[in-house]
Amino acid sequence: MRTLRLVFLCIMVIAIAGCQATPLRVSLSSANQAELPSPASVEPGVYYFGFDRRLDPAEDVRMYVPFLKYLERTTKFHFKLRPVPRTGSVVDELGKGTVQFAAIGTLSYLTAHKQFGVEALVAARNAEGGATYRALFVTRPDSGIRSLNDLRGRSLALGAPTSTQGNLIPRVMLQQGGVSLSDLGAFQNHSSHFETANAVLSGRFDAGALQDTLGRELARQGLVRIVAESAPFPSSTISVAPGVPGAVVEAVRAALLTFDPTARDKPKLYHWDQSEMPLGFTQVDLQALERVQQLAEQVGLLK
């Protein structure tokens, strides 16, 4: 009888108690300020990586996170991604030291180099192995625009003001083609190449200036037609802020030069082919950068 009672009690306890987790007691009424208690701007032993906004911000983050993991695996240093708000600037972050490494376009590099002494580690490698890329003018396939001259009186979508392919090179091309911004019916800078492309595809703008890789892909799909193509310009760089230990710099440089996004490292990357360095990296052509610096200064994008 005692055994039966014990069994019954056990069954009751099991049945009633079940297997529930213990809750954590928290008061929601203890209101405090929303600001976090002064977090450190940088964590020790962590190198922050910034980038020029190119596509959708979230897509940019998804693309760069696997890239940083590659760097961590290769260099054994710890990296964190630090996206810059739309109102912020990677160049400023590099200057403040909150970002140590950054994937930035030529114009941003020239600005950061000039203002904060940022140095280019490697440049984006093109199909020929060089460190150049191009910019394209594209329209919708049914557009009557056939050349840069046809842009007169039409609306043009440009990239971010700091974008080399979306702003610097197109501005240089327009200048060299004898078309000033005032000749255009309208123009507007967009935060990324994606937004520029969307502006054209949606019909809001008659033409747009895009990075060559994205423009060619859209043309291949029949979504746009290429109107003009620029001469080769120094491609985007991975730059490093001053003050980063040389061993870290050299380790990162070596890792970047051995980065193989088209074959070996491709499976672990996320749409890296839509980045400005789809084929990996090569040595920086400093002379070419100096030439571009002059052009930028000529069009007023670099002071």
Partner 1 sequence: MRLGKKIILTTGSVIVVMGIVTVGLIQTIVSGALGQQLDDKGLATARVLADDLANPLLDGDGLVVQRNLLRFVQEGPSVVYAYAVTPDQRQVIHSFDSGFPVPLLDATRLPDGQSSQVRLLLTEQGRIRDYGVRVLEGLDAEVHLGLTEDRITASRRNVMWLIVGLTASGVAIAVVLAWILGRYVARPLEYLTATAEEIGEGRLDREIPITSKDEVGDLGDSFNRMLVRLREAMERERRRNRELMALNAVTRAVSLGEDLSALLTHALTDVVDALGLEGAWVMLTPDGEDQPGHLAAVAGVDTALAKQCTCTVGVPCSCWTALQNGARSGDSDIGDHCKVAPLLGSNGQVVGPIPLVARARTLGFMNVVVAASVYLSPQDHDMLNGIGRQLGVALERSRLWLQLSDREERVSQLLQQVIDAQEEERRRIARELHDETSQSMAALTVGLKVAASLTHKDPDRAAVLLEGLKEATSLTLRELHNIVYDLRPTLLDDRGLVPALHWCASRRLGDQSVAVDVTAGGRAVRLPPQVETTLFRIGQEAINNVAKHSHARTLRIHLQVEAKRVHLSVVDDGHGFAAAADNSDRGEKRSFGLVGMAERAALLGGTFQINSVPGEGTRIDVIIPLEGGDDPDSHSAG
Nearer to partner 1, 33 or 287 (CB): 33
Pairing, β 225-229 against β 132-133: unpaired
CA distances from residue 183 to 135, 156, 186, 232 in whole angstroms, order as listed: 20, 11, 9, 25
> Residue 3 interacts with partner 1 (CB under 8 A)?
no
Which amino acid would we find at residue 195? E
Nearer to partner 1, 73 or 146 (CB): 73
> Residue 87 interacts with partner 1 (CB under 8 A)?
yes
Nearer to partner 1, 81 or 219 (CB): 81
Check if the beta carbon of residue 118 is closer than 8 Å to that of residue 92.
no
> Measured from the CB of residue 87, what is the shortest distance to partner 1 in angstroms?
6
Beta carbons within 8 Å of 283's beta carbon, 6+ residues apart: 122, 123, 131, 257
> Residue 1 interacts with partner 1 (CB under 8 A)?
no
> Residue 189 interacts with partner 1 (CB under 8 A)?
no
Number of residues that bind partner 1 (CB under 8 A): 47
> Residue 6 interacts with partner 1 (CB under 8 A)?
no
Nearer to partner 1, 155 or 275 (CB): 275
Report helix, strand or coil for 136.
strand
Report helix, strand or coil for 231.
coil
> Measured from the CB of residue 28, what is the shortest distance to partner 1 in angstroms?
5
> Residue 141 interacts with partner 1 (CB under 8 A)?
no
Q: How many CB atoms lie within 10 A of CB 303?
A: 8
> Residue 18 interacts with partner 1 (CB under 8 A)?
yes
Which residues on neighbouring strands pair with residue 47, listed in sequence order?
Answer: 79
- Residue that the structure tokens 């890239």 belong to: 67
> Residue 62 interacts with partner 1 (CB under 8 A)?
yes
Phi, psi (degrees; rounded to nearest 5) at 15: -65, -40
**Region binding partner 1 by CB under 8 A among candidate stretches 31-39, 107-115, 214-222, 284-292:** 31-39
Pairing, β 186-189 against β 225-229: unpaired
Check if the beta carbon of residue 135 is closer than 8 Å to that of residue 169.
yes
Choice from 86, 128, 142, 144 touching partner 1 (CB under 8 A): 86
> Measured from the CB of residue 68, what is the shortest distance to partner 1 in angstroms?
7
Choice from 6, 14, 186, 286 touching partner 1 (CB under 8 A): 14
Check if the beta carbon of residue 32 is closer than 8 Å to that of residue 44.
no
> Residue 92 interacts with partner 1 (CB under 8 A)?
no
Choice from 32, 182, 221, 287 touching partner 1 (CB under 8 A): 32
> Residue 266 interacts with partner 1 (CB under 8 A)?
no
- Count of positions (residues) in the chain: 303
Phi, psi (degrees; rounded to nearest 5) at 147: -150, 180
Chain residues binding partner 1 by CB under 8 A are 8, 11-12, 14-37, 39, 41, 56-58, 60-62, 64-65, 68-69, 80-83, 85-88
